[in-house]
Copies of this chain bind each other. A is one copy, B any other.
Amino acid sequence: MKYVVITFHPDKKRVAVPLGSDILTASIKANIFLASSCGGKGMCGRCKVKILDGEFDSEPTGKISESEKKNNIFLACRTFAKGNLEVKIFPETILPSRIAPAIFEKGMEIHVPELLKKTFPIHPLTKKYFLRLPRPSINDNISDIERIYRALKKYDINIHPAVDMPTLRKIPSILRESNWEITVTLDEDNSTILLVEQGDTSKMNYGIAVDVGTTTIVVSLINLNNGETIGSESSFNSQSVYGDDVITRIIYAEKKQGLETLHHLVVSTINELIQNIAKNHSITLNNITSIVAAGNMTMAHLLLKVDPSFLRREPYIPSSNTFPAMFAAEIGIKINPSGIFWTVGGAASYVGGDITAGVLATGMYKEENPNMLIDIGTNGEIVLGDKNWLLCASASAGPAFEGTGVKNGTRAIEGAIQSFKIENGKTKISTIGDKTPMGICGSGYIEIISELFRNGIIDRSGKFTGENEKTRNGEDGREFIVYKGDGRTKDIVITQIDIENLLRAKAAIFAAIFMLLEKSGILWENIEKIYIAGGFGNFLNIKLAISIGLLPQIPEEKFVFVGDTSLAGAKAALVSKEARKISYEIIKNMTYLDLSTEKSYMEEYLGALFIPHTNMERFSLIKK
């Protein structure tokens, strides 16, 4: 096989790939992650690069304009190397690698931690015990391992935890080199000795909770001795280069080496976050002894390198709803090599561990009256129920509210336009952290649509009504200028296509909410609380979300922002055996409503495509 060398500018990253390789694949090999919603099928037009030098073929695509072509700008996924190439990467095309932790702390992890502390007694997945062993003698010559068992009795551990061979092999020398003072790490049931260390390390026992989102991955570093969160960091899931949604990922996973590639990418993203957060808090990876992940079923399959292909094929069967505890090292997660990895289980192919975690974190599984959890991520999942029953559904909303698949979309990070008003014909924006605007996040889009509709710039179906000084024809059709660039900064717009995407997303979610109520026979007024989880965080304006018909019209005080409940539930499971036990009960109690087999869902969806809805009775307050 002949190889060619591709050099990516401006960083001059070089990579050798087989002759004929596409530039997108080559860029991943060079550890450069380009935006690519469609997963490299030439459909989303996001992975544009400029060829500076060299021979190549590029397939024709409607996503490249004539002027771009003249400037040697092409889609990386449709351009193939015929020799060594020099390729320029545009900064705005690269997936942001890390989301500012400060913002995350403010926006995401609210309410829930306090709630958790009260609910779950601390009993972490892995626990350390310091032991001072008496030195053996002719009169006390029990084996090394029995000596450890005897000392563990001091901590009321009277069973004999198993030891695997790698650990057992190390014990004799560790005991003697440590002067018979050791720290033993046990699993939750004291059934296995995971780790034997020299000296007293019992004060340093840390764990990682991770929310494995389709688009975003968030980790928290937790002190396992007291359950406190030391810090959190997040980053884009670098799998995103192979598509925005789970279906695109599953299709990619079905290709040769596809599963291995996606597995590797998500593991690398998690490892990078762990390394970073550990470094920032001066904690060595060896003192991290366990990790709990919550994610949707596709993410869980990919993370654990389990074939996800049957998830997308009727009758939609996961290989398993729950996964065994395993050594983190077994799937390549870099914490202590004897550290344990545990996954929060899910109820169905499209209601995964992230939702179980959400039910766990909100505590709705133990309430007398029904509550609702709405988790708006790349998919929208909704759970309704109380201590006796739980009913859930999944709406393929798409990642528009996460800022992906929309032209100038972004996550809720610094510089994201989160608020928008039109006053006296003038637009007024505010950004997170009051930084220079760099895109629009989910809550921003809701306010923009609400304001455009209120001001008659778009009609009930979301179409631009006519001419306006801020609307124009852009490269993707009609668009409204949300922010006019100043030369250094670019224009930020919302396009007709964006609006259609956003309305489809809100319609899918609203219709799903409605179906759950209808199926359960619960009335709006009987719902105690609606927990809003997911990327919106604190920024969502409930009134405006109701005004566009994303959320149902019920008293504002019933809405509670709970932030990243997937992360919060993962944390609960990490620090509390009780929470892990409850997670299994939640899965058992949860009934999955498959919307794709519900005829009335499509009708509901079509009705909800309008602002706020075709059936205005449901939004009587707005009508007024």
Give the B-binding residues of A (Cβ under 8 A). 136-138, 140-146, 162-165, 168-169, 171-173, 176, 304-307, 309-310, 314-321, 323-324, 326, 330-331, 348-349, 594, 597
Q: How far is the CA of A169 from the CA of B324 in the complex (A)?
A: 12
Contacts of A306 in B (CB 8 A): 165, 168-169, 172
Q: How far is the CA of A178 from the CA of B22 in the complex (A)?
A: 38
Contact pick for A165, options B162, B164, B305, B597, CB 8 Å: B305
Contacts of A165 in B (CB 8 A): 304-306, 323-324, 326, 330-331
Q: Known contacts A138-B315, A141-B315; can you find 7 more A-B pairs with CB under 8 A?
A: A138-B597, A141-B348, A145-B320, A164-B326, A169-B305, A172-B309, A172-B317
A304's closest neighbor in chain B, by CB? B165
Question: Contact between B307 and A168 (Cβ–Cβ < 8 Å)?
Answer: no
Known A-B contacts A326-B164, A330-B165, A331-B165; the reply to A172 vs B319 at CB < 8 A is yes
Q: How far is the CA of A413 from the CA of B56 in the complex (A)?
A: 75
A172's closest neighbor in chain B, by CB? B319
Shortest beta-carbon distance from A244 to chain B in Å = 25
Contacts of A318 in B (CB 8 A): 143-144
Question: Contact between A163 and B315 (Cβ–Cβ < 8 Å)?
Answer: no
Contacts of A305 in B (CB 8 A): 165, 169
Question: Contact between A314 and B144 (Cβ–Cβ < 8 Å)?
Answer: no
Contacts of A310 in B (CB 8 A): 144, 172, 176
Q: How far is the CA of A137 from the CA of B315 in the complex (A)?
A: 5
Question: Contact between B324 and A164 (Cβ–Cβ < 8 Å)?
Answer: yes
Q: How far is the CA of A594 from the CA of B306 in the complex (A)?
A: 54
Known A-B contacts A307-B173, A316-B141, A317-B144; the reply to A168 vs B136 at CB < 8 A is no
Contact pick for A144, options B144, B320, B330, B594, CB 8 Å: B320
Contacts of A145 in B (CB 8 A): 319-321
A-B pairs with beta carbons under 8 Å apart, 6 shown: A136-B317, A138-B597, A145-B321, A165-B305, A168-B304, A172-B307
A163's closest neighbor in chain B, by CB? B324
Contacts of A331 in B (CB 8 A): 165
Shortest beta-carbon distance from A313 to chain B in Å = 10
A192's closest neighbor in chain B, by CB? B324
A147's closest neighbor in chain B, by CB? B317
Shortest beta-carbon distance from A125 to chain B in Å = 16
Contacts of A172 in B (CB 8 A): 306-307, 309-310, 317, 319
Question: Contact between A323 and B168 (Cβ–Cβ < 8 Å)?
Answer: yes
Q: How far is the CA of A435 from the CA of B314 in the complex (A)?
A: 72
Contacts of A326 in B (CB 8 A): 164-165
Contacts of A323 in B (CB 8 A): 165, 168
Taking each of A324, A326, A348, which has the highest tally of chain B beta carbons within 10 Å of its own beta carbon? Answer: A324
Question: Contact between A146 and B324 (Cβ–Cβ < 8 Å)?
Answer: no
Q: How far is the CA of A165 from the CA of B309 in the complex (A)?
A: 17
Question: Contact between A314 and B162 (Cβ–Cβ < 8 Å)?
Answer: no
Q: How far is the CA of A304 from the CA of B597 in the complex (A)?
A: 55
Shortest beta-carbon distance from A254 to chain B in Å = 12
Contacts of A142 in B (CB 8 A): 317
Shortest beta-carbon distance from A256 to chain B in Å = 15
A169's closest neighbor in chain B, by CB? B306
Question: Contact between B173 and A320 (Cβ–Cβ < 8 Å)?
Answer: no
Contacts of A304 in B (CB 8 A): 165, 168-169
Q: How far is the CA of A307 from the CA of B348 in the complex (A)?
A: 48
Shortest beta-carbon distance from A455 to chain B in Å = 46
Question: Contact between B138 and A168 (Cβ–Cβ < 8 Å)?
Answer: no
Question: Contact between A141 and B324 (Cβ–Cβ < 8 Å)?
Answer: no
Contacts of A173 in B (CB 8 A): 307
Question: Contact between A320 and B138 (Cβ–Cβ < 8 Å)?
Answer: no
A345's closest neighbor in chain B, by CB? B143
Question: Contact between A594 and B138 (Cβ–Cβ < 8 Å)?
Answer: yes
Q: How far is the CA of A348 from the CA of B176 in the complex (A)?
A: 19
Q: How far is the CA of A141 from the CA of B596 in the complex (A)?
A: 14
Question: Contact between B168 and A317 (Cβ–Cβ < 8 Å)?
Answer: no
Question: Contact between A143 and B317 (Cβ–Cβ < 8 Å)?
Answer: yes
Question: Contact between B136 and A315 (Cβ–Cβ < 8 Å)?
Answer: yes
Contact pick for A320, options B163, B309, B315, B317, CB 8 Å: B163
Q: How far is the CA of A146 from the CA of B323 in the complex (A)?
A: 12
Question: Contact between B168 and A321 (Cβ–Cβ < 8 Å)?
Answer: no
Q: How far is the CA of A169 from the CA of B305 in the complex (A)?
A: 7
Contact pick for A168, options B137, B162, B169, B319, CB 8 Å: B319
Shortest beta-carbon distance from A329 to chain B in Å = 12
Question: Contact between B319 and A141 (Cβ–Cβ < 8 Å)?
Answer: no
Question: Contact between A319 and B144 (Cβ–Cβ < 8 Å)?
Answer: yes
Q: How far is the CA of A323 from the CA of B164 in the complex (A)?
A: 9
Known A-B contacts A168-B306, A307-B172; the reply to A317 vs B163 at CB < 8 A is no
Counting from the closest, the 5 A-B pairs by CB-CB distance are A145-B320, A141-B315, A143-B318, A138-B315, A172-B319
Q: How far is the CA of A141 from the CA of B311 in the complex (A)?
A: 11
Contacts of A138 in B (CB 8 A): 314-315, 594, 597
Q: How far is the CA of A314 from the CA of B171 in the complex (A)?
A: 18
